[in-house]
Amino acid sequence: MIDSLRGLTFTGRAAAHMTRIAGPLRTDARFRRCFVADQVNAAGTTVATGALAFTVLGIGGGASGIAMVLLATMAAGILAGPMGGVVADRFPRALVISVVQVIIGLITVVEATLIFTGRAAVWNLAALAGANSAAASFSGPARTGLVGAIVAGSQLSEANALSQLARHIILTIGPAIGGAVVAMAGAGYGVGCNAISFFVSAALMARIHAPCADRQPSTMRADLIEGWTTIRTRRWIWTCLIGAGMMIPAWHVGYGILGPPYAESRLGGAWAWGLITSSLGCGMALGAAVSLIWRPRLAGWTNCLGTAALALPEPLMAAGAPLPAVMAAVVVAACGLSMSVVAWRTAIQQDVPLDQQGRVSAFAEIAEIALTPVGYLLVAPVTDAIGIRATLLMCGIIVAVASLAPLLSRDVRTLTLVTADPPAVEELPADPAPDGAAPDLSPPPVGQPSP
């Protein structure tokens, strides 16, 4: 009898746990549409993965051509980012995303047409990649604010983790499908599939009703100043951004640039790098799953310790570790990064006013990648001077120090997430107003999450 009761208790807890995990998808049709739109977009993007790079190589652009496309992509995103944040806070965010998806879809159609007709060149592919990145700078901040607007505060962590989990499952299996499409049908078909995904995503987003937050009319300059002031007055945001601005370039150099040649010379070639890349996707999905099951309240610790895990692969590669050890380190690193992303987005959505989340997200994205081009320029002279192994070790040290340094701030250490909705307060009849006095009709103060 006791065993039966224990079994029922365990089953009930498991059911309640699953209900909590699926809460955002189960309770809000708007989030379901947003979720499906994001995953359709991710699927199209992964199918086209590698198509642009192979096109550049196929027309004789070489590594310098790929670098030109990447530089145009990053520069356009940085320049358009502040404007994207302002637009995301001024207009209905679902509408902003829908319009941007249509624009990117049209740009992608032009790109596919150039590839099909044999008119693709490095300069026009770089220009289209820049236009694509500039447009995407409007949808990213809008998406952060949209989720914050349509999902209850206590379910934001689950909503972000669900999106991360589904996206990285797709990103793990999608490149293989995309590679097969490109190999069998050509790069143009891969890019064409991507264009279709943008139009489908736009149609889904257009059905989401989420009006923009109430705000006073202001100039664009005033909006930018207000967004920057919001970051400046929240120590936990700008402290973490300083660390991220140093950590992300070091990770890109150590893993993204030095990783492939190291795998080719030490681990067996391209197939080894393919396994390492798959490990990254698996780790990101695992981290999102962990964030669903375990709800960490201390967002600052989760963010900093999660990104610090990115310091594991570089020293192992520098030490000449075997492929399985490097793959395991990449899984742990990606798992930590995924948990960090969920905690960071949830903290922004809970602590930053809804009408400013677009600008704060845009400024944050710019701060995180602003120094990455500098890292790209320095990698060649540094590796020539001290060698690949020493550079890998240096990158790992920078990642670890830059990730953990924000924990020196008390604001970061005590940053907490709201994990439950506030209890409902029973309304009591108001005291009668004194003779000749107007009753107090002002709303009660709104509680804010712990800083």
Sketch out the chain's domains with CATH numbers.
Answer: 24-154+171-212 (1.20.1250.20), 226-417 (1.20.1250.20)
- Contact status, residue 52 vs residue 191, Cβ threshold 8 Å: yes
Mean per-residue pLDDT for 90-101? 92
- Residue 298: strand, helix, or coil: strand
Percent of the chain with pLDDT over 70: 84
Judge whether residue 449 has pLDDT over 60.
Answer: no
Q: Interhelix angle for 372-386 vs 235-251, to 10°?
A: 40
- Contact status, residue 344 vs residue 303, Cβ threshold 8 Å: yes
Judge whether residue 271 has pLDDT over 70.
Answer: yes
Q: How far is CA 34 from CA 28, 37, 53, 145, in A?
A: 10, 5, 29, 12
Q: Hey, what are 99's tokens?
A: 């319009």
Judge whether residue 436 has pLDDT over 50.
Answer: no
Query: How high is the pLDDT of residue 445?
Result: 38
Across 49-53, 77-81, 141-145, 295-299, least confident range:
49-53
CA–CA dist 284, 168 (Å, integer)? 6
Quickly tell me which residue has 């890998």 as its tokens: 392
Residue 19's contacts (CB-CB under 8 Å, 6 or more residues apart) are: 26
Q: Hey, what are 322's tokens?
A: 């075997």
Mean per-residue pLDDT for 342-349? 92
CA–CA dist 124, 113 (Å, integer)? 12
Q: Hey, what are 377's tokens?
A: 């320029």
Across 35-44, 332-341, 416-425, least confident range:
416-425
pTM, two decimal places = 0.76
- Contact status, residue 219 vs residue 87, Cβ threshold 8 Å: no
The runs of H, that is alpha helices, within 152-269 are: 156-185, 187-206, 220-232, 235-251, 259-262
CA–CA dist 139, 362 (Å, integer)? 10
Q: How far is CA 86 from CA 21, 91, 110, 218, 362, in A?
A: 32, 9, 28, 11, 9
CA–CA dist 135, 84 (Å, integer)? 8
- Residue 342: strand, helix, or coil: helix
Instruction: Tell me the one-letter amino acid at 37.
Output: A
